[in-house]
Amino acid sequence: NIIKLYDVRELEKGPFTSFKVDYHTQVQWAGMKFSSDGNYILLWTENNVMFVIDAFKGEKLFEHQFVLDEASMIPVPPAMEASFTPDSRYLLAAVENTIHVGHYVQHRNQWK
């Protein structure tokens, strides 16, 4: 669960930074995108979990797991795609034929 960032102009030097993304179980990454302002990294997994990471500090700012039924905690199929809106304020996630739009609240692990 390590993210390594490279400068494309200096690939031979290796990553200029790397950081670990902690989660209570092993996850398989399904995708990664940078916000348009370059401040955030959006990650999503095969385990239906989305993370927002500070692109400069490597700090996890947000985490959310999608489920079918909150009461029974039945997991949904993995998100096929996730993204930031152009202003980087909202997240979009395509999960089980539904597009979810949410404003992430940093450091509170809430999906609004």
Copy the structure tokens of residue 39.
Answer: 């401040």
What is the reported pTM? Answer: 0.78
20-56 pLDDT tens trace: 888 887 778 888 999 999 999 999 888 778 889 999 8
Sign of CA dihedral 45, 47, 57, 111: positive
Say how far apart CA 10 and CA 74 lie, in whole Å: 45
By the 8 A CB rule, do 107 and 61 touch?
yes
The pLDDT score that the predictor gives to residue 9 is: 94
> What does the mean pLDDT of the chain come to?
80
The pLDDT score that the predictor gives to residue 108 is: 56
